[in-house]
Amino acid sequence: MIVETAKAKLNLALHVRARRADGYHELETLFAFVEHGDIVSVTRAEADSFMLAGPFAGVLAGEGGNLVTRAAAEFAREFGHGAHAITLDKRLPVASGIGGGSADAAATLRALGRLHGISVADMFPIAAALGSDVPACLHGVTAIGRGRGERLEPVPGLPGTPVLLVNPGVAVSTAEVFRRWDGIDRGPLPADPRAGRNDLEPPARAIAPVIDDVLDALAGAPGAGLVRMSGSGATCFALFDGEASRDAAAAALSGRGWWMLSTRLT
Ligand code: C5P
């Protein structure tokens, strides 16, 4: 059995530059990943099967199709290699701006690739077709993403940095957040992502005002450095100057009923 972690993805900065004719948006983003995420397990089997487990299995089951089975179907179409039993342990909230489905699809491809000796490079075209964030998740390293996010340039990261993820429990539609972007290009990614922005924060906050509360709470935590929303939200994150300050922030916020993940950048 091959087991892959579908590490949660963060956008340390996300600049929306233009609306494209194909309905997507031209981005400049800094992708980073954390140590924790969903878990995808894959084995060879007589017939294809898919099982969901974990705290967010119910939410996903209610949505019908998902990117794990689509990724497996694309892999089979491209490379063959028979049937598989796949299990997804869904630990990250759904529709929350931290990869989720994209990370799951990428982990599924990585697991199938390991099982059958197919390289990440060879799976890249499938990844891009599955979703804008799937190529970044397939590589799983800190990188600047351009285009829809599929043109990747690896850059040095900050491995080991303590980070707290907080999601207020509101699912936000990525397509709707992009639709509400005001169309104003506020400029390129700066060399230091701390000086950057997430241009999707204003439209996401218009849909889910509770995001303001999350950002305020994180910004007020002692030891918090960069505080920002990830992707199209509603998950926000803070980088901390140590694990003690991160854990203290998590303890201070524990009464709010928000989902939280204490982890570290990879
Ligand atoms: O590519 P993915 O399926 O993850 O994107 C979900 C939706 O988010 C797209 O259908 C599109 O409306 C929007 N999107 C966008 N520009 C991007 C990425 C996503 O407009 N660069």
Architecture of the structural domain at 2-154: 2-Layer Sandwich (3.30)
25 lines ligand 1 (CB under 6 A): yes
Condensed to tens digits (0 to 9), the pLDDT of residues 96-153 reads: 999 989 999 999 999 999 999 999 999 999 999 999 999 999 999 999 999 999 999 9
Rg for the chain, CA atoms, rounded: 18
Condensed to tens digits (0 to 9), the pLDDT of residues 207-236 reads: 999 999 999 999 999 999 999 999 999 999
pLDDT (0 to 100) of residue 194: 81
pTM metric for this prediction = 0.96
Beta-sheet strands, E only, within the chain: 2-19, 25-45, 49-53, 83-89, 143-147, 151-154, 162-167, 224-229, 236-240, 259-264
Distance CA 245, CA 239 (A): 10
Q: Which residue has the least CA distance to atom 2 on ligand 1?
A: 131
Tell which atom from ligand 1 comes closest to the C-alpha of 149. Answer: 21
Condensed to tens digits (0 to 9), the pLDDT of residues 166-206 reads: 999 999 999 999 999 999 999 999 988 789 999 999 999 99
Please name the helix (run of DSSP H) or strand (run of DSSP E) that holds residue 245, with its range, or none: helix 243-253
80 is annotated as contributing to ligand binding? no
200 lines ligand 1 (CB under 6 A): no
- CATH number of the 162-264 domain: 3.30.70.890
- Percentage of residues in the chain with pLDDT exceeding 70? 99
Mean pLDDT of the chain: 96
264 backbone dihedrals φ, ψ, rounded to 5°: -140, 150
Domain boundaries, the chain: 2-154, 162-264
pLDDT (0 to 100) of residue 60: 85
